[in-house]
Chain A
Amino acid sequence: MDELLQAVEVLLPNLYLAALFLYAGHFARESAWAGRCGRRTLVLAIVLHAGALALRRVVLGHFPPASALEAMSTVALATAAIYVIVEPRIGERTTGILVLVLVYPLTLAAVAFDARPKIDDPRLQSPWFVLHIAPAIFGYAGFALSSLYGLAYLLLHRAMKRHRFGMIYQRLPPLDALAAMNLRATWAGFLGLTAALVMGSVWASRELGALPFADPKMLLALSTWTLYGGALASRHILGWSARRLALLTMGGFLLILFSLVIVNLLLTGFHAFA
Chain B
Amino acid sequence: MDTNKNRKRVIYLFLGFLGFMLSCTLVSRGIYASRMPQIKTGKPVMQRLKHKLELPGVLEKKSSEIMSSRCPVYGQPGMRIEEIDVKASDKVKKGDVLFRVNLEDVRKSLRKLEKTACEASQEKEDIKEQERLSDSEWERKKIQVRKRGQEDIQSARQEQNILVKRQKKQYLQAKKDLEKYPSWEQYFSEEALQSEQYQELQREAGKADASAEKKSEFENFVIRFRAATRKEWESGQQALQKLELEAHDSWMEAVESRINTLEKLRREKKRELEDMQRQNSNQEKGLQKQSEIIRQAREEMGLYQKLLQEDGKVRCDMEGTVQEVRLGAGDLMSEGAVMVLTEVSDWWQFKAVLPAEQKKYIDRDLPVDLVFEDGQMIWEQMEIDRIQRTKAGDYRIVVDVKGKLAVRRVGGNVCCRDIQIGRAGIYFQMETGNSGYV
> Is B a genuine binding partner of A?
no
